[in-house]
Structure 1
Amino acid sequence: MYFLNPSYGKVSLDDINEHIKAYLKEDPKATYKVVIGTDSKTTQKCSIIVTAFIIHRVGKGARFYYQKVKSKPLIDLRYRIYKETELSLTVMDQLKQHGITDLLADWPIEIHLDVGQQGETRKLIQEVVGWVTSVGYVAKIKPNAYGASAVADKYTR
C-alpha cells in the first residue's frame, strides 16, 4: 500500500512514519491534529475516490498524504457517502496497524465527512456522524470538514 504526497511523490506507510517523526521534531511544542477525509467525483464511466491523511500543525501549516482509487460509478448518494466514510475509517485502521497513530496519540483524531446542512447530504449527517463517533473519533461536517471538502476534493479531478 502506498500514498501520494505533492513533495515526495509515492510513499509507503513506513516512509510516512519517518516523515511524521521529522515533522513533529521540527516543532515539538506545537499543537497538532490528525485529520482523515474522503471525497469522490462520479461520472457515467467511473468514480474517483480520494482519501487524505493530514497532520495539521495548528496555526502553522500541515503535511498531507492521499490515496486515489477508481471504482465503478457510485451513483446512489447514500452509498457514496457511506463508501467515503468507510474508506476514511479504513485508512485510520491502516495507520494504526503501522504505528503511525502512536506517534500522534497526544492529539485529537478527526474524521472529516463530506456532508453538510446544505443539500441532499443533510439527511445523512446523523447516520455517518453516529458511525464515526461510535468507533471513537471526532466527526466534522461541512463547513468544518476541510479534509474532505478541500484537500481530498482537490485530487479527485
Structure 2
Amino acid sequence: MQNLKFKNISEKNMSFSQVFDHIEDFMNKDPKANYRLMVGTDSQVHKLHTIFITGIVIQCKGKGAWGCILPVKFNRRYLNLHEKISMETTLTEQVAYLFNEERKNRLIDIVLPHIYRGSSFTMEGHIDVGLEKRSLTRFLASEMMARIESIGLEPVVKPDSIVSSAYANRYTKY
C-alpha cells in the first residue's frame, strides 16, 4: 500500500499524503461545516481482467465535495459475486486504514472547536450491496457491513452508497 497512485480529473499520480493534504485543505476552508469522509469501491469484470476503483470523497454538506480514485487492475476475471464484493470491501478497508488515528484526529480537530455550533465529521464505508428483496447482493450485506463497522466506519449500502455505486462505478468501465 506504499506506492499507491490516486488521481482525479485535475491531478494524476497523487500519493496518499497528497490526497490527505487536499482533504485537510478542503475542510480548513470552512471548519464550521458538516463533513462526510466517504470511501467505497466498485468493480467491473472485463474480457481478460477486473478493474477495481476505490473512491475517496470529502463532502461539505450543501457546499460541494472533493474526490479522487485509486484504480487497481487484476489480470483475472472475478466472476463469483461473493469473491468480487469481498474484494471490493477489502480494498475499501485498506484505503480506510490509511486514515490512521493521527490523521483522523487532525481532521476531527478542524471541526472540534465548532461542534457545539453544529459542525460535524463522519467517516463512512460505502458498500456496493443492496438490502432490497430483488438485490442479488442482499445476502452479502450483513457480512460486508460488519466488516466496515469493525474498522470504525459507518457502513452505507445502496441506494445511499454513492461513492461505490456512482462515483467509483463511472470509472470502472475503462
Q: Is the TM value for this pair above 0.5?
A: yes
Pair 1:37-2:40 in alignment: yes
Displacement after TM superposition at 1:23 (Å): 1.1
Q: Select the structure that is richer in strand.
A: 1
Displacement after TM superposition at 1:108 (Å): 1.1
Match of 2:58 in 1: 55
Match of 2:7 in 1: 4
Task: Identify the match of residue 135 of structure 2 among 95, 99, 119.
Answer: 119
Match of 1:108 in 2: 122
- Overall identity of the aligned pairs, in %: 31
Look up the SS of the partner of 2:77 in the other structure: coil
Match of 2:116 in 1: none
Higher Cα radius of gyration: 2
Displacement after TM superposition at 1:100 (Å): 3.6
State whether residues 34 and 104 of structure 1, in contact with CA within 8 Å, keep that contact through their aligned partners in structure 2: no
| Structure 1 alignment gaps of length 5 or more | none
State whether residues 24 and 107 of structure 2, in contact with CA within 8 Å, keep that contact through their aligned partners in structure 1: no
Amino acid in the other structure paired with 1:149 = S
- TM-score calculated relative to the size of structure 1: 0.92
Aligned residue pairs: how many?
156
Distance 1:16 1:8 in 2: 10
Match of 2:90 in 1: 86
Distance 1:82 1:62 in 2: 27
Pair 1:68-2:71 in alignment: yes
Distance 2:167 2:106 in 1: 22
- TM-score calculated relative to the size of structure 2: 0.83
Look up the SS of the partner of 1:10 in the other structure: coil
Distance 1:134 1:13 in 2: 22
Task: Identify the match of residue 162 of structure 2 among 142, 146, 153.
Answer: 146
Q: Which moved more, 1:56-65 or 1:102-111?
A: 102-111
Moved over 4 A (4+): none
